[in-house]
Chains A and B, each alone.
Chain A
Amino acid sequence: ETGVTQTPRHLVMGMTNKKSLKCEQHLGHNAMYWYKQSAKKPLELMFVYSLEERVENNSVPSRFSPECPNSSHLFLHLHTLQPEDSALYLCASSQGLAGGPGELFFGEGSRLTVL
């Protein structure tokens, strides 16, 4: 069982659809993240949850709505997306360390295509 599991791995949706991406971490970490990876762009941080509270929200359009019901699960709800939202969405988790930020553990990503 991998440390961070994302489903679905691939998703194709129309601009009027509503769908959700799911992430589950089995590492006992206290922080979870959503990143967006587009072609030829650096990884973009979308949201961070620490102890189930959202602590970072980097000017992400409201058509992306995160949800963190507990420290092991993270969702990204999608609605009325645009074709430019097509990307690889990566979930990650980490554990804060006494000596500074812990490393991120990533899932394999959900490849989203918006038609």
Chain B
Amino acid sequence: AQKVTQAQTEISVVEKEDVTLDCVYETRDTTYYLFWYKQPPSGELVFLIRRNSFDEQNEISGRYSWNFQKSTSSFNFTITASQVVDSAVYFCALIPNNYGQNFVFGPGTRLSVLP
């Protein structure tokens, strides 16, 4: 069975603080893909990153960075120097390579960045 857990339901930080959003996944497949999406108040989910199971290099994109660790089945997301515009719900998602197009989403973490 495939499962994605985001244990943090809600997080509040003050602007300029760093914040890490946790994602733990379960799958028996050896080939799979992990994603992070951002859902601002407007509603549409915005793609942030796609990572396959064979690429454990950490990635940095501006203030965003991702730490993928297969040993702990985690794919955590860090925002450095958070800004009010980062306030949103963030979803982690998993899809095994041979699982058609059935993305499995985590429950999401609501991040509030206070001025």
Judge whether A107 and B47 touch: CB under 8 Å: no
What number of residue pairs across chains A and B have CB atoms under 8 A from each other? 63
Selected from B43, B47, B102, B106, the residue in CB contact (under 8 A) with A109 is: B43
Classify chain A's interface size: 20 to 34
Contacts A99-B52, A100-B33, A101-B33 given: A45-B102 contact, CB under 8 Å?
yes
Chain A nearest CB from B59 CB (Å) reads 14
Number of interface residues of B (CB under 8 A): 24
Within A26-45, the residues touching B (CB, 8 Å) are 31, 33, 40-43, 45
Q: Quick check: is A48 within 8 A (CB to CB) of the other chain?
A: yes
Q: With the chains together, A45 CA to B94 CA distance in Å?
A: 13
Contacts A56-B101, A103-B35 given: A88-B43 contact, CB under 8 Å?
yes
CB contacts (< 8 Å) of A48 on chain B: these are 100-102
Chain A nearest CB from B60 CB (Å) reads 19
Measured CB to CB, the nearest residue on chain A to B4 is: A42
Within A58-115, the residues touching B (CB, 8 Å) are 58, 88, 90, 92, 94, 96, 99-109, 111
Residue among B43, B50, B97 facing the most chain A CB atoms (10 A cut-off): B43
Q: Quick check: is A50 within 8 A (CB to CB) of the other chain?
A: yes
Q: Quick check: is A55 within 8 A (CB to CB) of the other chain?
A: yes
Q: With the chains together, A103 CA to B35 CA distance in Å?
A: 8
Residue among B91, B97, B102 facing the most chain A CB atoms (10 A cut-off): B102
Contacts A99-B52, A101-B95 given: A50-B101 contact, CB under 8 Å?
yes
A-B CB proximity, top 6 nearest: A43-B105, A109-B43, A106-B45, A103-B47, A108-B44, A108-B43
Q: State the A residues within 8 Å of B (CB).
A: 2, 4, 31, 33, 40-43, 45, 48, 50, 55-56, 58, 88, 90, 92, 94, 96, 99-109, 111
